[in-house]
Structure 1
Amino acid sequence: MSLQIQLSEHPSEEERSAILTPLLAHNLAKGGDDGHETFALLLRDPASNEVIGGLYGKVSYRWLLIDLVSVPESMRGQGIGQRLMHMAEDIARKKHCIGIWLETFSFQAPGFYQKLGYSEFARLADYPPGHARMFYQKVLG
Protein backbone atom coordinates (compact mmCIF):
# COMPACT_ATOMS: atom_id res chain seq x y z
CA MET A 1 0.00 0.00 0.00
CA SER A 2 1.38 3.38 -1.01
CA LEU A 3 0.61 6.19 1.43
CA GLN A 4 -0.66 9.45 -0.02
CA ILE A 5 -0.30 12.76 1.81
CA GLN A 6 -2.55 15.50 0.53
CA LEU A 7 -2.63 19.17 1.50
CA SER A 8 -6.11 20.44 2.36
CA GLU A 9 -5.95 24.23 2.70
CA HIS A 10 -9.55 24.43 3.83
CA PRO A 11 -10.22 21.17 5.70
CA SER A 12 -13.82 20.29 6.38
CA GLU A 13 -15.16 19.44 9.82
CA GLU A 14 -15.42 15.83 8.59
CA GLU A 15 -11.69 15.81 7.72
CA ARG A 16 -10.82 17.30 11.11
CA SER A 17 -12.94 14.67 12.81
CA ALA A 18 -11.19 11.90 10.86
CA ILE A 19 -7.88 13.08 12.38
CA LEU A 20 -9.29 13.72 15.85
CA THR A 21 -11.22 10.47 16.38
CA PRO A 22 -8.24 8.07 16.51
CA LEU A 23 -6.27 10.61 18.58
CA LEU A 24 -9.04 10.78 21.19
CA ALA A 25 -9.23 6.97 21.26
CA HIS A 26 -5.47 6.80 21.88
CA ASN A 27 -5.70 9.43 24.64
CA LEU A 28 -8.53 7.53 26.31
CA ALA A 29 -6.56 4.27 26.18
CA LYS A 30 -3.41 5.85 27.65
CA GLY A 31 -4.70 8.66 29.90
CA GLY A 32 -8.16 7.45 30.86
CA ASP A 33 -11.37 9.41 30.63
CA ASP A 34 -10.52 13.11 30.75
CA GLY A 35 -13.85 14.02 32.39
CA HIS A 36 -14.18 16.85 29.84
CA GLU A 37 -16.67 19.53 30.96
CA THR A 38 -17.14 23.09 29.80
CA PHE A 39 -18.71 26.09 31.52
CA ALA A 40 -19.11 29.83 31.02
CA LEU A 41 -19.46 32.76 33.38
CA LEU A 42 -21.43 35.25 31.31
CA LEU A 43 -21.39 39.03 31.68
CA ARG A 44 -24.75 40.29 30.47
CA ASP A 45 -25.87 43.81 29.69
CA PRO A 46 -28.71 44.50 32.14
CA ALA A 47 -30.73 46.44 29.56
CA SER A 48 -30.52 44.09 26.58
CA ASN A 49 -29.51 40.81 28.30
CA GLU A 50 -26.83 40.53 25.57
CA VAL A 51 -23.62 38.70 26.50
CA ILE A 52 -20.88 41.34 26.55
CA GLY A 53 -18.04 39.33 28.04
CA GLY A 54 -17.20 36.65 30.53
CA LEU A 55 -15.05 33.59 31.06
CA TYR A 56 -15.15 30.24 29.23
CA GLY A 57 -13.45 27.24 30.76
CA LYS A 58 -12.87 23.54 30.22
CA VAL A 59 -12.11 20.94 32.86
CA SER A 60 -10.22 17.85 31.77
CA TYR A 61 -7.77 15.49 33.49
CA ARG A 62 -8.50 17.38 36.73
CA TRP A 63 -7.11 20.65 35.36
CA LEU A 64 -9.18 23.71 34.47
CA LEU A 65 -8.19 25.48 31.27
CA ILE A 66 -9.35 29.07 31.26
CA ASP A 67 -9.86 29.33 27.53
CA LEU A 68 -11.36 32.82 27.21
CA VAL A 69 -11.62 35.87 29.47
CA SER A 70 -13.13 39.10 28.20
CA VAL A 71 -14.24 42.19 30.10
CA PRO A 72 -15.45 45.21 28.08
CA GLU A 73 -12.86 47.99 28.10
CA SER A 74 -15.32 50.41 29.71
CA MET A 75 -15.68 48.02 32.67
CA ARG A 76 -12.01 47.22 33.28
CA GLY A 77 -10.39 48.24 36.56
CA GLN A 78 -13.59 47.58 38.53
CA GLY A 79 -12.68 44.11 39.82
CA ILE A 80 -14.88 42.22 37.34
CA GLY A 81 -12.02 40.20 35.88
CA GLN A 82 -10.83 39.32 39.36
CA ARG A 83 -14.36 38.19 40.32
CA LEU A 84 -14.55 36.00 37.21
CA MET A 85 -11.19 34.41 38.01
CA HIS A 86 -12.14 33.76 41.64
CA MET A 87 -15.42 32.21 40.53
CA ALA A 88 -13.52 29.97 38.10
CA GLU A 89 -11.15 28.94 40.90
CA ASP A 90 -14.16 28.05 43.07
CA ILE A 91 -15.52 25.89 40.25
CA ALA A 92 -12.12 24.21 39.86
CA ARG A 93 -12.01 23.40 43.57
CA LYS A 94 -15.57 22.00 43.53
CA LYS A 95 -14.55 19.77 40.63
CA HIS A 96 -11.45 18.62 42.57
CA CYS A 97 -9.01 20.10 40.06
CA ILE A 98 -5.28 19.93 40.68
CA GLY A 99 -4.82 23.35 39.16
CA ILE A 100 -5.69 25.91 36.53
CA TRP A 101 -3.84 26.91 33.39
CA LEU A 102 -4.30 29.55 30.73
CA GLU A 103 -2.55 31.27 27.88
CA THR A 104 -2.33 34.97 27.16
CA PHE A 105 -0.33 37.37 25.03
CA SER A 106 2.29 39.79 26.35
CA PHE A 107 0.03 42.67 25.20
CA GLN A 108 -2.99 41.32 27.09
CA ALA A 109 -2.93 40.72 30.84
CA PRO A 110 0.09 38.78 32.13
CA GLY A 111 0.45 41.13 35.12
CA PHE A 112 -3.20 40.57 36.03
CA TYR A 113 -2.69 36.80 36.20
CA GLN A 114 0.56 37.16 38.14
CA LYS A 115 -1.22 39.30 40.77
CA LEU A 116 -3.73 36.45 41.17
CA GLY A 117 -0.97 33.95 41.93
CA TYR A 118 -0.42 32.44 38.48
CA SER A 119 3.14 31.61 37.42
CA GLU A 120 4.49 31.47 33.90
CA PHE A 121 5.50 27.97 32.78
CA ALA A 122 6.16 28.52 29.08
CA ARG A 123 6.61 31.31 26.55
CA LEU A 124 6.55 31.38 22.78
CA ALA A 125 8.62 34.37 21.64
CA ASP A 126 7.64 36.46 18.63
CA TYR A 127 4.06 35.20 18.55
CA PRO A 128 2.96 37.57 17.09
CA PRO A 129 6.25 39.14 16.02
CA GLY A 130 7.46 41.59 18.65
CA HIS A 131 5.28 40.00 21.35
CA ALA A 132 4.99 36.66 23.14
CA ARG A 133 2.38 34.04 23.84
CA MET A 134 2.58 33.16 27.52
CA PHE A 135 1.33 30.18 29.47
CA TYR A 136 0.43 30.41 33.16
CA GLN A 137 -0.59 27.94 35.82
CA LYS A 138 -1.81 27.96 39.38
CA VAL A 139 -1.70 24.82 41.48
CA LEU A 140 -4.62 24.63 43.87
CA GLY A 141 -3.90 23.66 47.46
Structure 2
Amino acid sequence: MVVFELTASPSSEELAAITDALSAFNKADVGPADRRPLAILVRDKDGKVTGGLSGFTAWGWLFTQMLFIPDTLRGTGTAGRILAQAEQEAKVRGCRGAWIDTFSPQALRAYRRQGYEVFGELEDFPEGRTRSFLRKAL
Protein backbone atom coordinates (compact mmCIF):
# COMPACT_ATOMS: atom_id res chain seq x y z
CA MET A 1 0.00 0.00 0.00
CA VAL A 2 1.21 3.53 -0.81
CA VAL A 3 0.26 6.51 1.34
CA PHE A 4 0.50 10.11 0.12
CA GLU A 5 1.07 12.75 2.78
CA LEU A 6 0.82 16.47 2.07
CA THR A 7 2.98 18.54 4.39
CA ALA A 8 4.17 22.13 4.56
CA SER A 9 6.90 21.19 7.00
CA PRO A 10 8.91 18.20 5.81
CA SER A 11 11.90 17.25 7.92
CA SER A 12 15.41 17.52 6.56
CA GLU A 13 15.57 13.71 6.60
CA GLU A 14 12.40 13.43 4.53
CA LEU A 15 13.71 15.92 1.97
CA ALA A 16 17.07 14.11 1.90
CA ALA A 17 15.27 10.85 1.07
CA ILE A 18 13.80 12.48 -2.05
CA THR A 19 17.05 14.22 -3.01
CA ASP A 20 19.16 11.10 -2.51
CA ALA A 21 16.76 8.92 -4.51
CA LEU A 22 16.62 11.40 -7.40
CA SER A 23 20.39 11.85 -7.38
CA ALA A 24 20.91 8.09 -7.55
CA PHE A 25 18.40 7.81 -10.40
CA ASN A 26 20.03 10.65 -12.35
CA LYS A 27 23.51 9.25 -11.82
CA ALA A 28 22.42 5.88 -13.23
CA ASP A 29 20.57 7.60 -16.10
CA VAL A 30 23.05 10.28 -17.28
CA GLY A 31 26.17 9.83 -15.17
CA PRO A 32 27.59 11.68 -12.17
CA ALA A 33 26.69 15.36 -11.86
CA ASP A 34 29.97 16.45 -10.27
CA ARG A 35 27.83 19.03 -8.44
CA ARG A 36 29.98 21.59 -6.66
CA PRO A 37 28.87 24.75 -4.88
CA LEU A 38 30.13 28.11 -6.08
CA ALA A 39 29.79 31.43 -4.27
CA ILE A 40 31.23 34.90 -4.69
CA LEU A 41 30.77 37.02 -1.59
CA VAL A 42 30.52 40.80 -1.42
CA ARG A 43 31.77 42.07 1.94
CA ASP A 44 31.61 45.55 3.44
CA LYS A 45 34.53 47.28 5.16
CA ASP A 46 33.73 45.38 8.38
CA GLY A 47 33.81 42.00 6.65
CA LYS A 48 30.04 41.48 6.74
CA VAL A 49 28.56 39.73 3.70
CA THR A 50 26.18 42.19 2.04
CA GLY A 51 25.53 40.39 -1.24
CA GLY A 52 27.01 38.15 -3.86
CA LEU A 53 26.37 35.11 -5.99
CA SER A 54 25.32 31.63 -4.91
CA GLY A 55 25.03 28.68 -7.23
CA PHE A 56 26.65 25.47 -8.35
CA THR A 57 28.21 23.68 -11.26
CA ALA A 58 26.87 20.33 -12.45
CA TRP A 59 26.83 18.30 -15.67
CA GLY A 60 29.03 20.90 -17.36
CA TRP A 61 26.85 23.90 -16.53
CA LEU A 62 26.98 26.81 -14.11
CA PHE A 63 23.64 27.58 -12.47
CA THR A 64 23.36 30.88 -10.63
CA GLN A 65 20.66 30.38 -8.03
CA MET A 66 20.91 33.79 -6.40
CA LEU A 67 22.65 37.06 -7.23
CA PHE A 68 22.17 40.06 -4.96
CA ILE A 69 23.91 43.40 -5.38
CA PRO A 70 23.67 45.83 -2.44
CA ASP A 71 21.99 49.16 -3.22
CA THR A 72 25.28 51.02 -2.80
CA LEU A 73 26.86 48.99 -5.62
CA ARG A 74 24.00 48.86 -8.13
CA GLY A 75 24.75 50.51 -11.44
CA THR A 76 28.52 50.16 -10.96
CA GLY A 77 29.08 47.03 -13.05
CA THR A 78 29.38 44.84 -9.96
CA ALA A 79 26.90 42.24 -11.24
CA GLY A 80 28.88 41.89 -14.44
CA ARG A 81 32.16 41.47 -12.60
CA ILE A 82 30.67 38.86 -10.28
CA LEU A 83 29.11 36.92 -13.15
CA ALA A 84 32.39 37.04 -15.09
CA GLN A 85 34.27 35.68 -12.09
CA ALA A 86 31.73 32.85 -11.64
CA GLU A 87 31.87 32.05 -15.35
CA GLN A 88 35.67 31.93 -15.27
CA GLU A 89 35.59 29.46 -12.37
CA ALA A 90 32.95 27.43 -14.21
CA LYS A 91 35.27 27.20 -17.22
CA VAL A 92 38.08 26.00 -14.95
CA ARG A 93 35.67 23.32 -13.74
CA GLY A 94 35.03 22.27 -17.34
CA CYS A 95 31.63 23.90 -17.84
CA ARG A 96 30.40 24.68 -21.35
CA GLY A 97 27.42 26.86 -20.43
CA ALA A 98 25.72 28.95 -17.76
CA TRP A 99 22.09 29.62 -16.93
CA ILE A 100 20.14 31.91 -14.64
CA ASP A 101 16.57 33.05 -14.19
CA THR A 102 14.97 36.27 -13.00
CA PHE A 103 11.70 38.19 -12.83
CA SER A 104 13.47 41.52 -12.31
CA PRO A 105 13.55 43.78 -15.39
CA GLN A 106 16.77 45.40 -14.11
CA ALA A 107 18.49 42.03 -13.66
CA LEU A 108 17.28 40.90 -17.08
CA ARG A 109 18.99 43.91 -18.69
CA ALA A 110 22.18 43.25 -16.70
CA TYR A 111 22.29 39.58 -17.73
CA ARG A 112 21.71 40.45 -21.37
CA ARG A 113 24.60 42.94 -21.20
CA GLN A 114 26.75 40.03 -20.01
CA GLY A 115 25.86 38.00 -23.09
CA TYR A 116 23.02 35.89 -21.70
CA GLU A 117 20.09 35.17 -24.02
CA VAL A 118 16.50 34.34 -23.09
CA PHE A 119 15.52 30.76 -23.91
CA GLY A 120 12.20 30.65 -22.08
CA GLU A 121 9.64 32.76 -20.26
CA LEU A 122 6.92 32.16 -17.73
CA GLU A 123 4.34 34.95 -17.74
CA ASP A 124 2.70 36.16 -14.53
CA PHE A 125 5.38 34.64 -12.30
CA PRO A 126 4.97 36.45 -10.02
CA GLU A 127 1.72 38.12 -11.03
CA GLY A 128 2.37 41.09 -13.27
CA ARG A 129 5.94 40.02 -14.08
CA THR A 130 7.59 37.61 -16.47
CA ARG A 131 10.17 35.13 -15.23
CA SER A 132 12.89 34.85 -17.83
CA PHE A 133 15.28 31.93 -18.18
CA LEU A 134 18.63 32.82 -19.72
CA ARG A 135 21.69 30.93 -20.94
CA LYS A 136 25.17 31.69 -22.12
CA ALA A 137 27.76 29.57 -23.86
CA LEU A 138 31.06 29.56 -22.00
Q: TM-score normalised by the shorter chain: which range applies?
A: over 0.9
Partner of 1:84: 82
Deviation at 1:66, TM superposition (A): 1.1
The sequence identity of aligned pairs, in percent, is: 37
Distance 2:104 2:69 in 1: 17
Q: What secondary structure is seen at the aligned counterpart in 2 of 1:109?
A: helix
In our comparison, the structure showing a higher alpha carbon Rg is: 1
Deviation at 1:43, TM superposition (A): 0.7
TM value normalised by structure 1 = 0.92
Distance 1:81 1:106 in 2: 13
Partner of 1:15: 14
Residue deviations 1:47-101, cap 9 Å, x none? x110011111200001000111111112111111111011111111111211000
Partner of 1:31: 30
Matched, 1:121 2:83: no
Instruction: Identify if the C-alpha distance between structure 1 residues 20 and 107 changes in structure 2 by more than 3 Å, giving closer, same or farther.
Output: same
Deviation at 1:107, TM superposition (A): 3.9
Distance 2:112 2:50 in 1: 25
Over the residues paired in the alignment, what is the CA RMSD in angstroms? 1.2
Distance 1:87 1:29 in 2: 32
Distance 1:89 1:6 in 2: 41
Instruction: Identify if the C-alpha distance between structure 1 residues 93 and 116 changes in structure 2 by more than 3 Å, giving closer, same or farther.
Output: same
Q: Could you tell me which runs of 5 or more consecutive residues in structure 2 were left unpaired when the two chains were aligned.
A: none
Partner of 2:54: 56
Q: Could you tell me which runs of 5 or more consecutive residues in structure 1 were left unpaired when the two chains were aligned.
A: none
Distance 1:107 1:114 in 2: 11
Residues matched between the structures, number: 138
Match of 1:102 among 96, 100, 103: 100
Instruction: Identify if the C-alpha distance between structure 1 residues 4 and 57 changes in structure 2 by more than 3 Å, giving closer, same or farther.
Output: closer
Q: Which structure 2 residues correspond to residues 68-79 of structure 1 after superposition, within 5 A?
A: 68-79=66-77
TM value normalised by structure 2 = 0.94
Amino acid at match of 2:115: G
Amino acid at match of 2:117: S
Q: What secondary structure is seen at the aligned counterpart in 1 of 2:76?
A: coil
Q: What secondary structure is seen at the aligned counterpart in 2 of 1:81?
A: helix
